[in-house]
Amino acid sequence: MHSIKTKITVVAASAIVVTMIIAAAFGVIAIKDIGTESADKQLTLLCQTGQKNLDSYFNDVILSVGTVSAYVEDDLDGLDDEHLQAHLDRADELFKNLEYNNAILTYYYRIDPEVSENAKGFWYVRGDDGFTEHEVTDITQYDTSDTSQLVWFTVPKATGKPVWLPPYITDNLGARVLSYNAPVYYEGKFVGVIGIELDYSMLAKLVDNITLYENGYAFIDDPDRTIIYHPHMDIPTLEKHPKVPEEMIGQQGVFTYEYEGVKKKAVCLPLRNGALLNVAVPVSEINAVWYSWIKNIIFIFLALLIVLILLISRWTRQITKPLSDLTAVAEQVDAGDYDARMEYDGDDEIGVLSKTFNKLTAHLGSYISDLNDLAYADALTSLHNKGAFDITINNMQTDIREHVNRKIEFAVCMFDCNDLKSVNDVNGHDKGDIYLKETAAIICEVYKHSPVFRVGGDEFAALLLNRDYRNRDELLRLFDEKCAEKRKDARRAWEKVSVARGMAVYDPEEDESVNDVVRRADKLMYENKWNIKGRVRGE
């Protein structure tokens, strides 16, 4: 047998453990959500910062090209060599007066050879001392209708609108650039191209500086989701540029994907040149942050649990001895020694329990024989009591099991006295006893062929068999009428019998046991009680 001390300690420790597990579970979920949300915000903020930095370069280019192209189209006043050369000089001066960021490598204004063979245009390249003019590319060596050649010129000529071009190698400089180019028209005729080329390496440095955690990085891909720059890939040397993983295709904002067996979280935002900036970090590194918090919480919880168990164990020692003494005396009484007494006389709950126990054992012997005689009778109403009801129910259940093929018909009617507590509180328990006796009398009068039981303080039950079972509906109405007549003729509260009732008929298809019928009758009785209370409130 386990001691009281052990049981109290186990119960208390179990309650604490369950509470801590629940608290820890909520804590883990909260920490995980906070950690995930924080990581999402960091990734998004980092990607937005990189987007703004890169877009500032692109915006400068768009603004510069837009300003010059608007000017030159308005400035054109003829396509002969003299007018074109004067026009180019003015455009050259405008370009020189513009401010350029460090990423801009070249700017140019090229005239289509089909318009003029002499007025070719100009091309300026950034050097250590600023922009210096460079010999222009001989466009006549290319087929300007083939957009796979001389893309900075052929593509805007073919599309007829400003366009960003993906990274390419300049023919004369051998440098990797990306450019923004706008076509120039005069009276609907294509004249040439104005463009600015960005130094690819400068933009790569900006992307390389976007890092998060230990292995987070950023990369750029084009609208077709082909990677055009990646800090871990030497893209220019590859014969075919790789595409992003399929899980990334169509994604923008925050999302997760897997690459080479590593699950990653990423943020993807569009850039002004049509490309996409991606910032990615392994999910394991994000999780590592809140994993450490969870470990700390578990450690603290375990430490608290040990301390609390020690405190509980120490506290239970204070009540163990008197309870052990009480157990010993109870065993003596169980053996028939009704003279056994508790010696503990403290003024706490155990002391009160000890005194009450001593009084109980002092009178217990004299009551034993009387209790045996009255074991199954209710002292107040002389009806069968709850013990008799349980035995009857068990016997009926046994009868049902033993006679499966025989149709057994019975019903259970449950009764509950309304407002008995009010009668007891206002008029005294002696008047409440009268109320109970009157109720018992009406039940017995109506169900004279059925066993009636008092199964609780204000609850009664009747088992309807044979004649009463066949007339059950009529008897139920008769019972309601008897109660109504009693209330009508009564002048005092304890004579106004109001009884809620519920009747359930045994259905072998629905009821697995007699207790199922009792539960249904009890449920119907409570429904009737609420209906009665509703009618009373509505009067």
The model's pLDDT over 331-351, given as tens digits with 9 standing for 90+, comes to 777 666 767 777 777 777 777
| Arithmetic mean of pLDDT, 61-88 | 91
Same fold? 4-57+203-288, 58-198:
yes
The model's pLDDT over 154-190, given as tens digits with 9 standing for 90+, comes to 999 999 999 998 888 886 777 888 899 999 999 999 9
The structural domains of the chain, with segments of one domain joined by +, span 4-57+203-288, 58-198, 386-538
Strand partners of residue 257: 264
More confident residue, 329 or 418: 418
Q: Which residue has the tokens 């007339």?
A: 471
Q: What tokens were used for 462?
A: 């009747």
Task: Tell me the CB-side half-sphere exposure of residue 101, using CA atoms within 13 A.
Answer: 18
The fold of the 58-198 domain, in CATH, is Beta-Lactamase (3.30.450)
Whether 392 and 463 have beta carbons less than 8 Å apart is answered as yes
In the 8-state DSSP scheme, what is residue 511? -
Distances in Å between the alpha carbon of 102 and those of 133, 198, 538? 17, 9, 87
| Helices and strands, number each (H, E), in the chain | 12, 15
**Total-model pTM:** 0.52
| Arithmetic mean of pLDDT, 369-387 | 77
pLDDT score of 173:
79
> Of 142, 137, 88, 84, which Cα lies nearest the Cα of 115?
84
Q: Tell me which of 3.30.450.20, 3.40.50.2300, 3.40.50.300, 2.60.40.60 is the CATH number of domain 4-57+203-288.
A: 3.30.450.20
| Arithmetic mean of pLDDT, 104-133 | 91
Scored b (16 or more CB within 10 A) or e, 464-500 reads bbeebbeebeebbeebeebbeebeeeeeeebebbbbb
- Homologous superfamily (CATH) of 386-538 is Reverse transcriptase/Diguanylate cyclase domain (3.30.70.270)
| Arithmetic mean of pLDDT, 293-310 | 78
Fill in the amino acid letter for 116: S
> Of 290, 280, 283, 284, which Cα lies nearest the Cα of 211?
280
